[in-house]
Amino acid sequence: MAKKTALITGASRGIGAAISLRLAEEGMNCVLVAREQAALQTLANKLSEKGCEVLTISCDVTDEHAVNGMVKQAVEHFGRIDVLVNCAGRGGGGITQNLSTDLWRDVINTNLNSMFYVTHAVLNHGKMSAGSNIINIASTGGKQGVIHGAPYSASKHGMVGFTKALGLELARNGSGITVNAVCPGFVETDMAKQVRTNYARLWQVDEAEAKRCIEERVPIGRYIEPDEVAAMVAYLTSPLAKGVTAQALNVCGGLGNY
Identify the CATH class of 5-185+225-249: alpha beta
Taken in order 11, 13, 14, 19, the sign of the CA dihedral is positive
Burial letters 225-251, b for 16+ CB under 10 A, else e = ebebbbbbbbebbeeebeebbbbbbbb
Question: Once rounded to an integer, what is the mean pLDDT over residues 35-43?
Answer: 95
Instruction: Say what the pLDDT of residue 180 is.
Output: 98
Q: Is 152 labeled as catalytic in the residue annotation?
A: yes
Instruction: Say what the pLDDT of residue 1 is.
Output: 57
Reported as a single tens digit per residue, the pLDDT across 123-170 is: 999 999 999 999 999 999 999 998 889 999 999 999 999 999 999 999
Candidate list 117, 152, 199, 223, residue with the active-site label: 152
In contact, 116 and 162? CB cutoff 8 Å = yes
Numbered ranges of CATH 3.40.50.720 in the chain: 5-185+225-249
Question: Once rounded to an integer, what is the mean pLDDT over residues 46-62?
Answer: 95
In contact, 135 and 180? CB cutoff 8 Å = yes
Q: For the purposes of burial, counting CB atoms within 10 Å of the CB of 188, is it exposed (0-12), middle (13-18) or buried (19 or more)?
A: middle
Report whether pLDDT(196) > 80.
no
Reported as a single tens digit per residue, the pLDDT across 93-102 is: 889 999 999 9
- The helix (H) or strand (E) run that includes residue 134 is strand 133-137
The alpha carbon of 216 is separated from its chain's Cα centroid by a whole number of angstroms, namely 25
